[in-house]
Amino acid sequence: MFDKRLMTLCPESKKYIAGNIICQWIELLMNAVMIFIVSFIVGKIYTKEITEMTLIISMAVLSITLVVRFFMTKKTAKMSYMASKTVKRVLREHINKKLLKLGSSYRETVNEEL
């Protein structure tokens, strides 16, 4: 789940989070297609109804889904990195501003039991 306070703090990361979700949905769809194709091929082999053309088409579709899934996985990782990069930058700025505002009295206001 997403932290709503974090989303309001860093609205520019919303596009990366949305992109991440879309890429994950495409990955999930590609997984479903791969499972369908493999089960289709196994079913055809079991019933001995498989032809060479069916096998070639199935393998081509399976190859395409693997390639699409590979690129979506890479894109998902990049979107996740971009979202975390912007959030880290904003949080660091807020923490530094807070520390500067506290000044030298920081030790007096922080709990020493840590």
Which H or E element spans position 6? helix 4-9
What pLDDT sits at residue 107? 64
pLDDT digits (tens, 9 = 90+) for 40-76: 999 999 999 989 999 999 999 999 999 999 999 999 9
102 pLDDT higher than 90: no
DSSP 78-93: HHHHHHHHHHHHHHHH
Residue whose structure tokens are 């990049």: 78
Would you state the pLDDT for residue 46?
Answer: 94
* Direct distance between the N- and C-terminal alpha carbons of the chain, in angstroms, rounded to an integer: 28
Q: How far is CA 98 from CA 2, 7, 26, in A?
A: 24, 19, 41
pLDDT reported for residue 29: 97
Highest mean pLDDT (candidates 45-49, 74-78, 80-84, 87-91): 74-78
pLDDT given for residue 96 in this prediction: 87
Using DSSP, state whether 3 is helix, strand or coil: coil
Map tokens 């019933």 to a residue: 47
Among residues of the chain, what percentage have pLDDT more than 90? 51
